[in-house]
Chains A and B, each alone.
Chain A
Amino acid sequence: MTPKKKKIVKIGAILLITGLLIGGGTVLYMFNMPHRNVQNTSSDFSLTASKLVTEYLENPATANEKYLADDGDSKILEIKGTVAKISEDFNGQKVVLLQENSDKAGVSCTFTQETNKNVSNIQVGETITIKGVIRSGASFDPDLEMYENVVIEKSNLVK
Chain B
Amino acid sequence: MKKVSFLISTVAIVLALFAFTPPVGKLVSSKTHIKFFSHTSVEDIQANNYASVSTIDPSTGDVVFSVPMQSFEFGKALMQKHFNGEDFLDTKQFPKAKLKGKITNIAEINLEKDGTYQANVEGELTIKGVTKPIKEKGTVTVKGNKIEVQSIFNIVLADYGINFVKGKPASNIAKTVEITVQAEYQSE
Which residues of A line the B interface, CB within 8 A? Answer: 30-36, 64, 68-74, 87-91, 93, 95, 108, 110, 135-137, 141, 143-146, 148, 151, 153
Assembled-state Cα–Cα distance A31/B172 (Å): 13
How many Å from the CB of B78 to the closest CB on chain A? 5
| Chain A residue nearest in CB terms to B72 | A72
Q: Which residues of the other chain, B, contact A73 by a CB distance below 8 angstroms?
A: 81
Q: Are A136 and B92 in contact (CB under 8 A)?
A: no
Q: Which residues of the other chain, A, contact B54 by a CB distance below 8 angstroms?
A: 144
Q: Which residues of the other chain, A, contact B90 by a CB distance below 8 angstroms?
A: 70
Q: Are A146 and B68 in contact (CB under 8 A)?
A: no
Using C-beta atoms within 8 Å of the partner chain, give the interface range for chain B: 35 or more
Q: Which residues of the other chain, B, contact A108 by a CB distance below 8 angstroms?
A: 30, 51
Assembled-state Cα–Cα distance A34/B69 (Å): 20
A-binding segment of B16-24, B94-102, B105-113: B94-102
Q: Are A72 and B83 in contact (CB under 8 A)?
A: yes
In the assembled complex, B182 has its CB within 8 A of some CB on chain A: yes
Which of A31, A69, A144 has the largest count of B CB atoms less than 10 A from its CB?
A144
Q: Which residues of the other chain, B, contact A69 by a CB distance below 8 angstroms?
A: 84, 92
In the assembled complex, B31 has its CB within 8 A of some CB on chain A: yes
Q: Are A33 and B77 in contact (CB under 8 A)?
A: yes
25 A-B pairs with CB atoms under 8 Å apart are A30-B78, A31-B76, A31-B78, A33-B76, A36-B77, A64-B95, A68-B70, A68-B91, A71-B81, A71-B85, A72-B84, A90-B182, A91-B33, A91-B50, A95-B30, A135-B51, A135-B68, A136-B68, A136-B71, A144-B64, A145-B26, A146-B55, A148-B53, A148-B66, A151-B68
In the assembled complex, B157 has its CB within 8 A of some CB on chain A: no
Say which residue of B33, B68, B76, B78 sits within 8 Å of A90 (CB atoms).
Answer: B33
Q: Which residues of the other chain, A, contact B26 by a CB distance below 8 angstroms?
A: 145-146
Q: Are A68 and B31 in contact (CB under 8 A)?
A: no
Q: Which residues of the other chain, A, contact B76 by a CB distance below 8 angstroms?
A: 31-33
Q: Are B50 and A141 in contact (CB under 8 A)?
A: no
In the assembled complex, B32 has its CB within 8 A of some CB on chain A: yes
| Chain A residue nearest in CB terms to B57 | A145
Q: Are B96 and A136 in contact (CB under 8 A)?
A: yes
Assembled-state Cα–Cα distance A78/B31 (Å): 24
Q: Are B85 and A70 in contact (CB under 8 A)?
A: yes
Q: Which residues of the other chain, B, contact A71 by a CB distance below 8 angstroms?
A: 81, 84-85
Q: Which residues of the other chain, B, contact A144 by a CB distance below 8 angstroms?
A: 28, 53-55, 64, 66
